[in-house]
A and B are shown apart, each in its own frame.
Chain A
Amino acid sequence: MSEQVRETEHDLVMRSPSDVMRLERLGSFHQTRLSFMRGLLRRVVSEGWQFSRPVWQVDRQGVGVAVYEAKGPTRSYSLVCFAHDLDPQNRSDRSIATEWDATFTLFDGVPTQEDLERLSHQVPKQEAGRVSKSELSLSRANRSVRLFEHVVSRLAQGLQPDTQQIEDIGYLMRTTAVYGSGKFGAAARDMLKTRPETSRPFQVEMLSVYLTRAFTIDIVEHLARSRAPKTAVPLDRGIARRLGVGNSTGLGMAPFLVKHPRLVHNWINARETALARVRAQQGATDETIALFHTAVTAASVSIAKWRTADQGQAGRTVDLCKDINTLQEHLKSNALISDYPWEQLFQWGMVNLKTEAQELLVSLLIEPHGGLVDDLLDKMSADHSLPLKIDGAMQLSKLNFLLQTRYAWVERFDFENTEARKNFWYVSENKGEPRLSPRSIDPDADYYETPLDVACQIARLQADMATWSDEEQLARFLLVHPEHRKIVRRVQGLSDCDYSEIQENIVGDGIRPIDMLRCKLSFFGATDFDPRSDRWVRITMFKNAPYPDELSLKTQDNWVYVADPLNR
């Protein structure tokens, strides 16, 4: 049967927010075909973007500037790359670092020599510099000490790098921050949201990382040639495709999810709607079944190669691989021949798989249904984080009803117990690094606290409302209690957003911020999750993706997982 996008979504069966919006599940999300990386490459391919490298002024030591141009139907974007000679002692992925191996900005258009001169004084400083409305992002990357030199020296000798090391590490450089949307003088998102190619979330950042990946290959080949012009060879393209861009992500991503609840709703609602549409299919075509089997096999091979030093994630990955085997065994039993085969398989997974594998199954179910779900990518943006105006005419009784119906999950936490507020989120004076620490480290922690403690704010609001008449209007209550304006605006503004709130106490004892990071990174399209602690994770972006000069209409859409990585 042919797949039809339903005119109305009202009869779709969606998973409950109380199931989905728990950190254990959010922290088990995997990339889907709706990820921002894949959406970008789909557009680039379908619109026939042209890529070039008009500037390469890098010396024998690998210091200089390069420009990569991406030319779309109506506009060009250019990644301006500054390659530096970094003292290894100063190499750090932390946001408090002040020097990097390479620094980047995505320029809106094609930069002139004057632009490059201006940027050369600002971009290497990163947060300490100022860019302009012509710049759309600011980022930096460090070399992988383990792999970068190995690849350069092997290529210089005329040899290819050790594929085991390629598989173990997976990137030559890793970005440590990619800033966009109006930071440090750069253009604000308002300017970009009306452009088709940048209206979806994080497309500027994804384009920047995609071009950065090309730079990482070019710089190792350049250094190899500089070192041994007579013997050096280019990197084998099959090996190069196994290299993505690494990324070290810290706590900054966690506040983002709490501060942009409407956006989070749109992301997760899109994913859940895609799943619901697939589950609602009465039958499955031979083509979708074949694509599904291919995706399962590729995921099985790829995920088995994930490497992590984190014992917790290592155990989860082992369990995940076992569960994928269980899924593959189940599929051998003609699992997709009944009516509503995807629904049947989904329900089987909820019973027989662990959470991490359940969420992988969600991604795999969505994978072969591009015609059914890809329109959802256009519903993943949000103009404003929250409506700005508070409805002050609302009676407290109605607000109470909203709290009792939409925030009942807060009752799970007892904020009379100090353990429930053990930690606080704040910004350090050291380069504005977001941190999470025990409240006990500073007597003024409450003043410094970044207001991410939604559950606690709800509990306080309810406690203060309890001393007021139900008939009173919110306007008067807020005149006396302006400290509740933020949470009231949130509650009113999210009344139509089922998937907006992470239903956890994120200042409580035992909180694992990494689950929030993983959730956000999965929407980017990240793979190879390698936690370094409960608040810091390394991942890989664009691994297995075609390079700019390999893109064509024949480009395989599902490039993320490949069954036979080095022999494609």
Chain B
Amino acid sequence: MTDFSLKEFEALCQRAARGAYMPWGLAEDAARAVCWLERASLPSASQFVGLLQLNDGVALSKLAIRPLDGRTLTKTEAYACPILTGSYLSDAYQTLDLDSGVQIERVAYPCFLLPFLSEISATSGCNIHVSWGTFEATVNERGVQFSSGRKDVVCQQFDLIQIVHCNANREFRGIPVSRLQVNAGNLATLTDLAARTYLPETELSQATGAGGGSVDDD
């Protein structure tokens, strides 16, 4: 296991997401979502590795959900990217009928929706109840409170996710996590993906770096 500050891990995740061909801005959202899950003591690194491997190199247009109206987001063919879906939910929450409930079809690794629901809650001031299969939880800006077992959050894909405003006044336990341990397998995969963003070394590249071709040892 390797010890990271959350900030350093976020930077690694962002680069890994970019290495898996996410645009930089979405990679930022992804890395932030990973850190949110880590703060909530959820298994972030393994889920993130799974997501990046699943969608590695797939065109984002094939991974986008389609908003039908304010109550339904649909998806055919491949499962939707949860980062792209979560980002849309966060961006468009004012157009969603969260009081009545919103259905989201076919999302991969739906746990990555939780950070974006937290973001919506922080802006709207309302708690949000979220469920898929046997998983149920309430999210607000302080974190997540599970109604079901927390292990149910681990899920590669699900066909129907439901979110709705709720008035539950639960105790949210904020855990001030600032460090995390990453196992060797997950770290190796993230590092390999991140390394794709580094330009392979050539003489020409080296010569154009700072100090290239100059005396620098005097």
Instruction: Tell me the A residues contacting B by CB distance below 8 Å.
Output: 88, 91-96, 130, 132-133, 142, 144-146, 181-191, 248-252, 388-393, 426-430, 432-438, 441-442, 447-448, 451, 473-476, 478-480, 482-489, 532-533, 535-536
Contact = CB atoms under 8 A, between A and B. Distances in A.
A390 B116 CA distance: 11
Contacts of A432: 198
A133 B5 contact: yes
Interface in B1-50: 2-8, 23-26, 28-29, 32
Given A191-B178, A392-B90, A433-B209, A93 B216 contact: yes
B94 A393 contact: yes
Given A144-B218, A248-B216, A486 B24 contact: yes
B149 interface: no
A331 B176 CA distance: 57
A426 B200 CA distance: 11
B90 A133 contact: no
Given A94-B211, A191-B178, A448-B199, A185 B8 contact: yes
B208 A435 contact: yes
B87 interface: yes
Contact of A473 (B24, B92, B201): B92
B202 A188 contact: no
A488 B23 CA distance: 13
29 contacts: A88-B217, A91-B217, A92-B211, A130-B3, A133-B178, A144-B218, A184-B8, A185-B2, A188-B8, A189-B7, A190-B178, A248-B216, A250-B210, A251-B209, A389-B122, A393-B95, A427-B197, A429-B195, A434-B210, A438-B208, A442-B205, A448-B197, A476-B92, A478-B88, A479-B64, A479-B65, A483-B25, A486-B24, A489-B28
A61 B5 CA distance: 37
Given A185-B3, A188-B178, 19 more contacts: A181-B7, A185-B2, A186-B5, A188-B6, A392-B92, A393-B91, A429-B201, A433-B210, A437-B205, A437-B208, A474-B91, A475-B91, A475-B95, A478-B91, A479-B91, A485-B87, A535-B209, A535-B210, A536-B211
Kindly list the 4 A-B residue pairs having the minimum CB-CB distance in the complex, ordered from nearest: A392-B91, A250-B210, A485-B25, A486-B25
B28 to A, nearest CB: 7
Contacts, number: 179
B105 interface: no
Contacts of A183: 8
Contacts of B199: 426-429, 435, 442, 448
A486 B27 CA distance: 9
B209 A532 contact: no
B209 A250 contact: yes
A426 B202 CA distance: 13
A249 to B, nearest CB: 8
Of the four ranges (under 10, 10 to 19, 20 to 34, 35 or more), the interface on chain B belongs to: 35 or more
B198 A486 contact: no
A482 B8 contact: no
A432 B3 CA distance: 20
Contacts of B23: 482-483, 485-486
B34 to A, nearest CB: 14
A487 B198 contact: no
Contacts of B87: 390, 478, 482, 485
A391 B195 CA distance: 32
Contacts of A389: 90, 119, 122-123
A430 B25 contact: no
A486 B28 contact: yes
A428 B202 CA distance: 9
B60 A185 contact: no
Contacts of A248: 211, 216
B204 to A, nearest CB: 5
Nearest to B123: A389
Contacts of A189: 7
Nearest to B120: A389
Contacts of B2: 130, 185
B76 interface: no
A427 B198 contact: yes
B211 A428 contact: no
A144 to B, nearest CB: 7
A250 B200 contact: no
B5 A142 contact: no
A483 B209 CA distance: 28
Contact of A430 (B92, B119, B206): B206
A423 to B, nearest CB: 9
B5 A188 contact: yes
Nearest to A191: B178
A224 B60 CA distance: 65
A448 B211 CA distance: 21
Contact of A435 (B4, B92, B209): B209
B170 interface: no
B198 A475 contact: no
B209 A429 contact: no
Contacts of A435: 199, 205, 208-210
A187 B7 CA distance: 9
Nearest to A391: B91
B193 interface: no
